[in-house]
Structure 1
Amino acid sequence: MGEGFTGWCRKVAAGAGRTARRPAGLVERTRWLFWLAALVSLLIAVPGAVLEQSAAAVVLVAVASAVCCLVWCRRYVLRRAPLLGDLVEAGAVLLMAAAAPTPAIALGITFSAAWQRAVYGSTWRGVLWVVLVVAGLAAALPVWPAVPGHTGRVAAAPLLGSLPTMFLVFAVARHLGGNLFARERAGRQQDALTALSLGLMGVVDREQAYALAWRATEALCDATPGLRALAVGQHGPDLLVVRSAGRFACVPDHLAAPGGAVVAGGSAAVEGDGVDWSAPVTDGLLAQLEGSVGARLAWTAHRLPEVPDGWMLVGAPQSVPADVQAAVWSINRQVALAARNADARAELVAAARTDSLTDLPNRTAFAHALSEAVGGGEAVAVLFCDLDDFKVVNDGMGHEAGDDVLREVAARLRVATRTEDLCARLGGDEFAVLLRARPAEEPGSAPDDLLASALSVAQRLQQDLRQPVRTGDRWASVAVSIGIATGQGPAAGESVVRHADVAMYAAKARSGQGVQVFGEELLEELDDVGLIAELRTAAVSSQLRVHYQPVVSLRPGSEGRCEAVEALVRWQHPVRGLLGAGQFVPLAERCGAIDQVGAFVLDRACRDAALWQLPGRPVEVHVNVSPLQLGHAGFPAVVAWALARSGLDPHLLVLEVTESAVADGAAQRQVLLEVRRLGVQVALDDFGTGYSSLATLRALPVDVLKIDRSFVTGCQEPQSSALLKAVVGLAEGLGLRTVAEGVETTDELEHLRSLGVGAVQGYLLQRPAPVEELTAWLPTGRRDDVPSPRRPTAAAPPSEEMTTTTAAAR
């Protein structure tokens, strides 16, 4: 028990120490000072009150002093002045005045008490306290003789004459205290508004702005005595209470508002309202609010900024102070600006993650969603979709038609996918779909059901895209190649995208319009998967180059003149340097990028050749065509677009195809015939290396035969010479021109001239050169201007240029 009492004493001592410590803030320091002054005045007055007094009088003085100390301390701690405390204090003053040797001794205590009482509560309650204390002092005069030890009568005039001074002291103290209160309230209001301003600087959404604003409103209520606030919103016929600040007897869940009326005067009162607008509430709301608060207050309604049918109800005794209304308006203005800024930022974020043409999520949004899914351990499937022959539509029918097609593809993509799937446009004619595993599929580490869903989506999309797209008064047909890959876990983010990309190119390499699921065997087919993504962007990022090798005439009258050039593609890789065709064109054919590469070379070659034409000295340009290019029905449109864009005479364009490209493909031969109708010439490349050369010559309108370098090497030998002579004779009989490839020695050149070959090309005559060098060489481009033969040292060796079996490899 002793330990319990000791602990209680320690707590009391600690609390007393905290109470006696000088607080921060002007008003609190003033209250502390007045409280301390009242205690000191009591301490000074008590010795004079008990000197030479009877025991009964000493007891009465001690009781009165203790009561006064308790009332003052409680008032200071609670920061308020209950009516009961005022009554008890008035009784203690009566006891003190009655027990003291003279009642005037109590005046010193009451003057200090008046200063302490003046800084608490309302003014009228303070005046009531003065009346009670004055009444207590006056009542002590007739009681004083009845206290044991007191004899005779006490002079009443000195005491009664000093009592009016109590009112003056309280009035002065109250005036000074009111100024302090006003200054502190203004300071706290400003602190709340400043904190709100600083907090709103980093706000990125509306809800955060509203939370900060209500925090400022709570600080406003704490700084203003008697202030209450409610945030309400229209909810049917009632007002739903969302937040509250200040002291309420009970916070209502809702308030009845018949007809939706909030302010007195109806709709006419809210015309032209804004953040700086307020009006009194209706009488019906006033009665309900009075019951919630437990006291009658004056209430005003303020529109909540950027919140339809939202109101802030502010109440205070008598009337809402003007400075409070100004603070509320300031809060509303700041929140309105922050809300508009948050909306603008949200729109910018949405725009940054939305494709403006199709309204689908863009690449950034797709990457974010994928990262979020795999980061949470979900199983995902990614579909990479690339439109086949979209360039034909975009360039042949115009960009507006291309945009119409992309918008329609996006619409059909939404229809073909599930509601929980994410469809995105990655750029150009590339789209992607992200499928997340449904709850039933998530436990499995091998998402077979997810793959089935992905295949189903891919099949629906292909079926939907088989229907032509109307653009204006015309129809456009597109198809799609789709690659599918699945993965799970944080490490799958990059790999699933890369695998889907590889699978898509594999589908496109199979003549397009296919669906390919990624498998490890695709990585084995593609020697360097890392080049695929780089190869896709090589053309648009200006990494592809076109070099040209002259074709020199051996015919009498034009011997030595450059009559044509062959376009040979190069890749200026940012890391690997200049790559020859053999290092990346086979990859482009296998992964489906050959259409893009071939279209670039064709366009560049036609535009360069158009600049070389001089009167009387036409220069043809030879462009190699891949069998895969011939496999697309839109290839003639690509050729027509390149000719129209460059303005080149179609007769000056020679498309080189290999025997294998058209030997067994009726579709390829039909495409080539359509190209031939444009006026373009056709050259049969590497003639003599195939097994169906004569059938090819009969089936196709060939203009030029290009003799393979395997016949040129060692052509002086009797057998090789006889074969060359037979080929030249065959060409002459069919009216075809001949070009011998791979001429590297003077002996080979002289022997080919003697056999009647029409033109030659090779390192003996000129090595492949960039367009700038060839442009400078062409005006004087004759064989005798060329240096003596030498082996090349460039990135692409002769063996690569002359032995690549695929024509497009050049």
Structure 2
Amino acid sequence: MSTQKSTPPIRLLHMEDSAIDARLVRRALDRGELTYDYRREATLAGLQKALDEADWDVIIVDHHLADCDSRRVLTEVKSRGLDIPFIICSGTIGEEQAVAAMKAGAQDYIMKGNLSRLAEAVRREVRDAAIRRSSRTAEEELRRSEQRLALLLSQSDELVLHIDQAGQVIEAWGNAEILSSTLTKITNRHLTELFHRTNAPLLREALARVTSTQGHLSIETYLPPPSNRTFLLHFGLQHDQPPTQADGCVLIRDITAIRQTEAELTFLSRYDPLTHLPNRKSVHDQLQKIIDKRTSASHHYTAVLLIDLDRFKVINDNLGHTTGDEVLVGAAHEIRRKLRQDDILARYSSDEFLAILPDVHNREAATQIAQQILDGLPATPLSPSALRVTASIGISFSPGDGHTAEDLIAAADVAMHEAKKQGGGSVHHYTPELGRRGIRRLELEQQLRIALEQNQLTLNYQPQVDLRTGAMIGVEALARWQHPETGAISPSEFIPVAEESGIIIPLGEWVLNRACEDAMRWRQHGVPLEVAVNVSAVEFEHVDIASRVSQALSRTHLPVEALVLELTESVLMDDTEEAIRRLQTLREMGVRIAVDDFGSGYSNLSYLKRLPLNKLKIDQSLIRGLGKHANDEALVRAVIQLAHSLKLDTLAEGVETETTRQFLHQHHCRHAQGYLFGRAQPAEHFLSIH
């Protein structure tokens, strides 16, 4: 039984003077599943101390620090002769500064507003640094090998031939075994007879040139299979004799190992060693050459397909990297089968392939090839364990979607991520709208970070009532953003950005603390309302919710029974056992749990009886169908009955009419919220309620 070696953690030095930004960087690294040992320093002295005390695999540095900038940090690292990957992670560095930093030796720069690619950038640069070290080791070994060969030559351990002007061997000494012969057999033979006949013209030309110039000359020649050896021949004349009588010497060295090492290094610089496909740099260069060759008269397109294997990380994590490598090799083979002879396929990153279709008649032709790839992958076992995978493919075109290789690949990447959002296993074309949305998302992410820092966000609260008495029993906390320049920004726009970028974690912490503060203030004014706070999937997965809640309650002195946490079904179903453990901890603290948007999608009812829940919130899509669709009425009745059987409270969302309220009351739904009872209001509104 074989055991797989674990990869040691990456030793990561982070130069950052903002604790908040440091947490965001670590969160991005954690979300990227990076295993690392971390140290943060904020000053030049701290950097020097860190470099003195430990060896580092990568340095991430903010452009502006307390007493220096990224250029000074880079200078310090370079002055020590260290080859440590250097990544600038900044929210303020300009393009010219970034380019200057790259020229000075930085490997990459990443804007703080786009940390999603940070983990992969760290992996890539650490991997590239390892390749550079391997290359230097190989080059050092090559140098030592040449020194050993020189030593062997000085000890006549090479083959040295004394020849006349015609090329006849007069005498031989050294190691004749390199030519699979003996000194006796070599003597009195012509030089051309010692090598393959195809080398004879080259050898005769070398002899003629050395004789006519009385100089020195080096050439390479070889022995054919099965020997497959390469030799360096150095010719020279004995200058103490008349030119017409001068004899010569030929030094023969076997350089097969040297040429093999050079070939391997050349291959590694341009090709992926696992799939033997062109690598990222190689395919980028090839694409740029294709674009440069295009003429305005061309009526055909060049298509770029970025192919991402869906859920590949799950394969690596659960079945091991050996199986993952088998899947990659199988996928490369299957994708290549679907491409045309002149198309180019490369391995672009760990689980991504990039295909260049240099000449397609129209966009539909490229889409058809992409669809053939999608159809072929899940239909073909890609490893000895018969694994099958799907893929998400983004397509961009030249002309149209960019003028450079970088533009086209970036456009294909945007389209590929759009395909992933649709669940994977699909093809998506780049459109200008996608590009604008991507830019808008980046701008919104940056503005949202500023909004958190500058207190632009507020909380409004929507009333929740008891349908039996009509009394208000609680509120739901809802985040609102009033941008100082553009005005109100809808939660439906900024919450998804917060979740994708990880900003939801500090945002969620702010919401919880502010909601607890407001609820405690109401109580102090005689308004004992419970407050419901939403917990996102990102928070539930990456944050110790129980600890966060405990700290908020302790700081604000809010009674635990006044707090309700709302989580969606998908959060609870993603890892049921872990969800049970976390919810049980909250339940033991006295926190109540509600399932938000229940009935909005596929519901696995079996999980309800296993989770320590208190309430089901019936999704407004069902509530708004009451009185209009018999199916919705039946579903709502069924949810209420199910909740009663499990001894759970029910709350209907989106109640807007009296008819709806009466239906819910008639069927014993206990609580409700919606415009019928009131819109979301600022915290001050509830201070006057008695």
Q: Bin the TM-score by the shorter chain.
A: 0.3 to 0.5
For normalisation by structure 2, the TM-score amounts to 0.43
Is the helix fraction higher in 1 or 2?
Answer: 1
Is the strand fraction higher in 1 or 2?
Answer: 2
For normalisation by structure 1, the TM-score amounts to 0.37
Greater Rg by CA: 1
